[in-house]
Amino acid sequence: MRFAFLFYASRSGSTLLARLISEQITNIVVLPEFRAPEWLLSQGEAKLRRMSSAALFSLIKLDHQRANLGLADNDYLGICQDMAGANARVILEAISRAYLARRGQSSDPDAVLIKLGSLISLMPSIRKTFPSAIFIHIKRDPRGVVNSQIRSERPYFPGEKMGRGDAWFAAKSWHDYQQTVERYRSLGIPIHDVCYERLVMATDQELMTVVCSLGLSSLMKQPSNGIGLEVIGPESSIHELVQKPPVDRRVSAWREELPAINGCVIEYLTRRSLIQAGYELYFTPKLRSHQVIAALVVAYPIHVWKMQLYYLRRVLYYAWRWRRLLARIQLMVRRLVERAETVR
């Protein structure tokens, strides 16, 4: 079974792209977003192979999005019992086949696409486990990304906004993500770019870049009757438009909706990556330097306050979830180790 991975900063149009791929490219299965790949890869192959079926099942249960595949915990338990001692690839193949079977497909597709933006932090492990994997990255104007994040509720954390509701943090995160993509490219790892704005404005032409990256030959001109993308559960609330045709207004809505102070913050923090990605400055060229500085002086204390509020919520959340906290710390350490491997 061949795997492809879709990387993205949140609210970059990844679900739209995944839906279009599943509908218009033949024999490609896009798995609903779930986090088991991240938890499996973070263990390292040696440790994962030593796990008992019970330990493996406990690891899978850390994934709060596992229900997105429509599989019950008994299904996952059966997979863990059958796959104990296997590596992450074999386990994910079993999960993929269980998902396909639930949807009435018995044969393997040409490729299975795993959609999870945070997986890029485990790129060395992905390369070792999936040596023939294809990597796709969808990019979007950071002002559109941040504008969408700070307006969108986190589906699994009611009352919280994505990007911590903080334009400063969201902009810095977008910049860091683009730099991560470029760092891996500089190491010779082929990561195929898809541009959100072109995807909306010229859908067929941009999808052709995906077809080429996957080594396929043709697009389906009509939606297929095969395995389409499912968006179910809490995530349906943040993807209300995903089943509708792309609308041009999505590309430039940030020009009307984003406050100028947030626009200045975003362009100041992302300037290098923004220009490198092919976007143009919009807010800061209209202002003098002292006006930009004033915007940053006003925005930074708001950023500090929102960060403190976020960490207070995390302390309260993990106070009674210490096993999940320990697993989260282990994942963070693994990400740091893998980053260090790429820097050496």
Per-position pLDDT tens, the chain of length 344 = 899 999 999 999 999 999 998 888 878 899 999 999 999 999 999 999 999 999 999 999 999 999 999 999 999 999 999 999 999 999 999 999 999 999 888 888 888 999 999 999 999 999 999 999 999 999 999 999 999 999 999 888 888 999 999 999 999 999 999 999 999 999 999 999 999 999 998 888 888 888 887 776 555 544 444 455 655 555 555 445 555 666 677 788 999 999 999 999 999 999 999 999 999 999 999 989 999 999 999 999 999 999 999 999 999 999 888 888 998 998 999 989 888 877 65
The pLDDT of residue 134: 93
Query: Could you give all domains of the chain from N- to C-terminal order, each with its CATH number?
Result: 3-343 (3.40.50.300)
The pLDDT of residue 227: 52
Number of CB atoms found within 10 A of residue 34's CB: 22
The pLDDT of residue 110: 85
The pLDDT of residue 245: 63
The pLDDT of residue 232: 58
Burial per residue of 171-191, b for 16 or more beta-carbon CB atoms within 10 angstroms, e otherwise:
bbbbbebbebbeebeeeebeb
The pLDDT of residue 214: 75
Strand order in the sheet with 134-139: 28-31, 111-115, 3-8, 134-139, 191-195
Contact 266, 272 (CB under 8 A): no
CA distance 182 to 302: 30
The pLDDT of residue 226: 46
The pLDDT of residue 237: 52
pTM here is 0.89
The pLDDT of residue 225: 46
Q: For residue 322, with 0-12 CB atoms within 10 Å meaning exposed, 13-18 middle and 19 or more buried, which class applies? A: exposed
How far, in Å, are 15, 134, 192, 316 from residue 218 at the CA level? Answer: 21, 18, 18, 51
CA distance 161 to 157: 8
Beta bridge partners of 114: 5, 31
Number of CB atoms found within 10 A of residue 201's CB: 14
Say which residues have a Cβ less than 8 Å from residue 260's Cβ, sequence separation at least 6.
283, 295
The pLDDT of residue 10: 93
**Tally of helices (H runs) and strands (E runs) in the chain:** 15, 5
The pLDDT of residue 212: 80
The pLDDT of residue 210: 81
Say which residues have a Cβ less than 8 Å from residue 78's Cβ, sequence separation at least 6.
none
51: left (phi over 0), alpha (psi -120 to 50) or beta: beta
Gyration radius (Cα) of the chain, Å: 20
The pLDDT of residue 221: 45
